[in-house]
Chains A and B, each alone.
Chain A
Amino acid sequence: GQQVMQIPQYQHVQEGEDFTTYCNSSTTLSNIQWYKQRPGGHPVFLIQLVKSGEVKKQKRLTFQFGEAKKNSSLHITATQTTDVGTYFCAGRPGNQFYFGTGTSLTVIP
């Protein structure tokens, strides 16, 4: 069945360091979305990528969609304590939305 894997599962960084999480799908995706979930909260939408090779930026966050539309990455520059949480990618091969396993980010002040 459909699998969307993310690495790493956990990441601890010093405040100010960069952070990257990678998302890989076993099948080609129509699009990919990224979500952030704060501890005890619900996932909140960050961005959607649709085109092969697409790159989008939101302030310190850079999102990429692979050429084959099977992988994606989220890069955070100069992390801040407000970046703490779990980052999920979510892919849509059909009408279903499959979530990745998530990367939990801890930022040490």
Chain B
Amino acid sequence: NAGVTQTPKFRILKIGQSMTLQCTQDMNHNYMYWYRQDPGMGLKLIYYSVGAGITDKGEVPNGYNVSRSTTEDFPLRLELAAPSQTSVYFCASSYRLAGGTGELFFGEGSRLTVL
């Protein structure tokens, strides 16, 4: 059972380039999330999804796009990369409980640097 898998683990981008961070989970979780974590800071929610075909904005969605065509995959697209997007990105998933959600399972993170 692989859990939540993120690729790539590291990436350096030039300003203005675009890229997609991949996230796959094999736990059949309904809920998936993308967070970013800046050095010494907490996690900020970028986008989330409550099921295939459904996505919604979090706290810091500007400059990012997501899609959720399957239960397993939740890619994060960065368009026109900017230095402010230098961060560690975490994908997470959780199952749905009556009245709430279960624990979040995190991927190992993708460290992105924009120069």
**Interface set of A (CB-CB < 8 Å, partner B):** 1-2, 6, 30-31, 33, 35, 41-45, 48, 50, 88, 90, 92, 95-102, 104
B100 near A31 with CB under 8 A, answer yes
Q: How far is the CB of A5 from chain B (nearest CB, A)?
A: 10
B43 near A92 with CB under 8 A, answer no
A95 near B48 with CB under 8 A, answer yes
Query: Which residues of A are found within 8 Å of B105, using beta-carbon distances?
Result: 45
> Please, which residue of chain A has its CB at the minimum distance from the CB of B48?
A96
**Interface set of B (CB-CB < 8 Å, partner A):** 31, 33, 35, 40-45, 48, 50, 56, 58-59, 90, 92, 94, 99-109
Say which residue of B41, B58, B100, B106 sits within 8 Å of A92 (CB atoms): B100
A95 near B104 with CB under 8 A, answer no
Given contacts A42-B107, A43-B43, A43-B106, contact A98 B59 (CB under 8 A): yes
Tally of contacts, chain A with chain B, CB under 8 A: 60
Query: Which residues of B are found within 8 Å of A1, using beta-carbon distances?
Result: 59
Q: How far is the CB of B59 from chain A (nearest CB, A)?
A: 7
Say which residue of B41, B45, B56 sits within 8 Å of A101 (CB atoms): B41
B58 near A96 with CB under 8 A, answer yes
Query: Which residues of B are found within 8 Å of A97, using beta-carbon distances?
Result: 33, 45, 48, 94, 101, 104
B104 near A45 with CB under 8 A, answer yes
Given contacts A42-B106, A95-B31, A95-B56, contact A50 B100 (CB under 8 A): yes
A95 near B103 with CB under 8 A, answer no
Query: Which residues of A are found within 8 Å of B59, using beta-carbon distances?
Result: 1-2, 98
Query: Which residues of A are found within 8 Å of B104, using beta-carbon distances?
Result: 33, 35, 43, 45, 90, 97
Given contacts A42-B90, A42-B107, contact A92 B45 (CB under 8 A): no
A42 near B109 with CB under 8 A, answer yes
